[in-house]
């Protein structure tokens, strides 16, 4: 029995360490860095409203993040708990968004977003 608890503790510790390492890999992008996917600076992108495919506002961009301060690769979206998207902050790759007619649309489903990394600022 103690061996089983040891393995359970080891597994839980590994999950926590893995989550910490994944979070540590992201850095906030400098405000003046150009986010080519949207033709705007990181500062301009922050606070944009995020809509789902049906046009419902589901959250807002909290941060532009990447692997280095000048390399934007993802957005942190602060979801409002609407249309199946849980109320949490999530790191979502740039290729999951479309920008058209001054509207940022998330192309990922609520199920896909549920499996994405939570942002803990």
Residue 5 pLDDT: 55
Residue 15 pLDDT: 45
Q: pLDDT (tens digit, 0 to 9) for every residue of the chain, 121 residues total?
A: 455 554 445 444 444 444 444 454 899 999 999 999 999 999 999 999 999 999 999 999 999 999 999 999 999 999 999 999 999 999 999 999 999 999 999 999 999 999 999 999 7
Residue 10 pLDDT: 46
Residue 121 pLDDT: 79
Give the Cα separation of 19 and 24 in Å (integer). 9
Distances (CA, A) of 5 to 16, 84, 114: 16, 36, 29
27-114 CATH, one of 3.30.450.40, 2.30.30.240, 2.60.40.10, 3.20.20.140: 2.30.30.240
| 30-66: b (≥16 Cβ within 10 Å) or e | eeebebeebeebbeebbebebbbeeeeebbbbbbbbb
Longest pairwise C-alpha distance within the chain: 61
Domain boundaries, the chain: 27-114
Residue 94 pLDDT: 98
Give the Cα separation of 118 and 32 in Å (integer). 25
Residue 38 pLDDT: 97
Q: Kindly give, in sequence order, each residue whose CB lies less than 8 Å from that of residue 105, ignoring residues fewer than 6 positions away.
A: 50, 51, 52, 53, 97, 98, 99
Residue 40 pLDDT: 97
Give the Cα separation of 50 and 71 in Å (integer). 21
């Amino acid at each position: 029995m103690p061996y089983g608890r040891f393995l359970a503790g080891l597994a839980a510790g590994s999950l926590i360490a893995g989550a910490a390492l994944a979070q540590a890999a992201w850095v906030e992008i400098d405000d003046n860095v150009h986010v080519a996917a949207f033709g705007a600076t990181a500062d301009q992108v922050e606070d944009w409203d995020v809509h789902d495919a049906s046009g419902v506002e589901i959250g807002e961009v909290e941060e532009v993040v990447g692997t280095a301060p000048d390399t934007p690769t993802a957005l942190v979206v602060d979801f409002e708990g609407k249309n199946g998207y849980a109320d949490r902050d999530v790191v979502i790759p740039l290729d999951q968004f479309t920008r058209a007619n001054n509207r940022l649309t998330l192309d990922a489903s609520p199920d896909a977003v549920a499996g994405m990394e939570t942002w803990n600022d």
